[in-house]
Amino acid sequence: MAYLSMIVTNLVRAVHGKEDDKLSIPMDFMPKWDKGGEEVKETGQTPEEMKQIMMSIARASKKRKPHNKDIQKRALTKTRKR
């Protein structure tokens, strides 16, 4: 994939770029996995935020509408009573 990106970029530079543009190499398009020495900024959730989200989901599930099976059971019991 990096080789293909290099070819396309170099073709575009050859057609539309300046004459002194530097050609790219496949390593220009490879991900840099080991960025040693750089700090990674965490933007994750705190445990308190996770707990709040889970509690809100639990509260919402208690207020949920009945499923189709519950509705069918209620309909059957109503028709049998008549």
User: Which of 33, 31, 21, 24 shows the shortest CA–CA distance to 5?
Assistant: 24
Q: Locate tokens 């994750």: which residue?
A: 44
pLDDT of residue 77: 72
Which residues in the chain land under pLDDT 50? none
Q: Report the distance separating Cα 54 and Cα 47, nearest Å.
A: 11
* Residue 58 CA: distances (Å) to CA of 44, 62, 64, 67: 22, 6, 10, 17
pLDDT of 67 reads: 63
Q: What is the pLDDT of residue 40?
A: 58
Q: Where are the domains of the chain?
A: 2-30+52-81
